[in-house]
Amino acid sequence: MTDITGLVADTICRTVELGLTITGAAISENLTHIDCRPVEHDPRCPTCVQPGRLRDHVDRILTDLPVVRHPTRLRVRIPRFTCTDDGCEVTIFRQRIDTVAAPKASTTRRCSRWILGRLAIDKMSVAAVARALGVGWNTVNTLAASLARELVVDQPGHLDGVRYLGVDEHKWKHRRGQGDPDFVTVIVDLTPVIDGTGPARLLDMVAGRSKAALAQWLGKRDNNFRSRVQVVAMDGFAGYRTATAEALPAARAVMDPFHVVHLAAEKLTVCRQRIQQATCGHRGRVGDPLYGIRRILLTRTDLLTDKQKDKLATALDGDDAHLPVEVTAWCYQDLIAAYANPDKRAGKLAMFKCLKRIRTGLPAGLEELAQLGRSLWKRRREILAYFDVGVSNGPVEAINGRLEHLRGIALGFRNLDHYILRSLIHSGQLQE
């Protein structure tokens, strides 16, 4: 291969950035084989640093980036030397090419970064990346997990600057027999969102959804981290609140608005279903008044059309038996209106009045609303705290959505450690 041809080949395949130059090439049915050698000649012994005497050459096969969508193998011809220092413990050594590949690695360093990029940015599956490189699934998954741990989890400053945390549960495995082993506790850094410097950042995932799971994770963090955390946003699970109070006594717990409204929506739905059964003697069917407004009831009043408002009024006002549904729906809309109030102080006051109004003393027939009132009153401090700090679990739910997408791409996971590391890749924080 002439010099000009070798230069063109080095440029096209970008082996020049590896410190290699191409000396030959061949193709097989599925692979592109590229012969190359190091540009620099370095005969120094890695132990005594004395120049050695050339002994022979050995070939090292490395998987590199695909060329024209075909898997590529670099056959690097590496010189071996004999150490000339009689006092050195090394007899024979080969020239190091650590900038090309890690010791004993079967892939180039840039190939490992390429794998991480395809998983993090292009949202490809491990199987698709493995096909593109012509290697096994386990090879790609191990490389991706190792590099993700190195770039995220093992970084000394991984938790620096975290002041706002989001905590939520996530179901990572769907199977028969629902239980805690199928759930993880997701811990997210909300600080970039509050500061306006970037998106939320997935910090870690812990097996289980319990007080112990969160308390154990917080207990492993140092005092500096725990003293920096000011706010923890969470759902209605009491275990997370207790763990936060014990491990982060100075932090303020906030119950996320989404979960408050969602809990009220569940009670409203149960109330509608109960009245439906009591008045019609069967589950909702097309033509039943309450069944016809099942979605309208859960829609914010300001977003309803005139036709929907008329349909809602006809269904609720036309029968006194529907009064429990109407009253529960009023309280549901009051909760939404309190959160939507642009004046946070007025919104907080409206929320407090609503919680106080339904906490006790409700008449018979409003069982679901009474349950809601008791539940929310117990968490009134965390609910009202939202109006003071403005931190919600919305970004955590967004990351949960990404993880659902990941599980679909992979068609499920069996190993939780793999799932956690892949989640760190897929959550977006490695996209830069």
Q: Express each pLDDT in 264-318 by its tens digit.
A: 999 999 999 999 999 999 998 888 889 999 999 999 999 999 999 999 998 888 6
Query: Do 383 and 245 belong to one domain?
Result: no
User: What are the counts of helices (DSSP H) followed by strands (DSSP E) for the chain?
Assistant: 17, 10
Query: Do 68 and 30 belong to one domain?
Result: yes
Angle value at C-alpha 430, between 427 and 432, nearest 5 degrees? 130
Model confidence, pTM: 0.77
Q: In the chain, how many domains are there?
A: 3
Query: Do 140 and 275 belong to one domain?
Result: no
Angle value at C-alpha 132, between 429 and 75, nearest 5 degrees? 105
Task: Please give the Cα distance from 28 to 179 (Å, whole number).
Answer: 50
Segment 370-398, tens digit of pLDDT: 999 999 999 999 999 999 998 988 899 88
- Residue 20 host element (H or E): strand 20-27
Domain range for 65: 3-151
Query: Do 120 and 53 belong to one domain?
Result: yes
Q: Tell me, what's the pLDDT at 432?
A: 47
Query: Do 93 and 209 belong to one domain?
Result: no
Phi/psi for 390 (5° steps) reads 70, 20
User: Is residue 156 included in any domain, yes or no?
Assistant: no
Query: Do 262 and 310 belong to one domain?
Result: yes
Segment 194-245, tens digit of pLDDT: 998 888 989 988 988 899 999 999 999 989 999 999 999 998 888 999 999 9
User: For residue 298, how far is the Cα from the chain centroid?
Assistant: 29
Query: Do 372 and 251 belong to one domain?
Result: no
Query: Do 131 and 26 belong to one domain?
Result: yes
Query: Do 201 and 297 belong to one domain?
Result: no
Burial class (CB in 10 A: 0-12, 13-18, 19+), 301: middle
Query: Do 301 and 371 belong to one domain?
Result: yes
Query: Do 212 and 285 belong to one domain?
Result: no
Please, are residues 141 and 116 in contact by the beta-carbon 8 Å criterion? no
Has residue 326 got a pLDDT over 80?
A: yes
Provide the H-helix boundaries in 14-125: 109-120
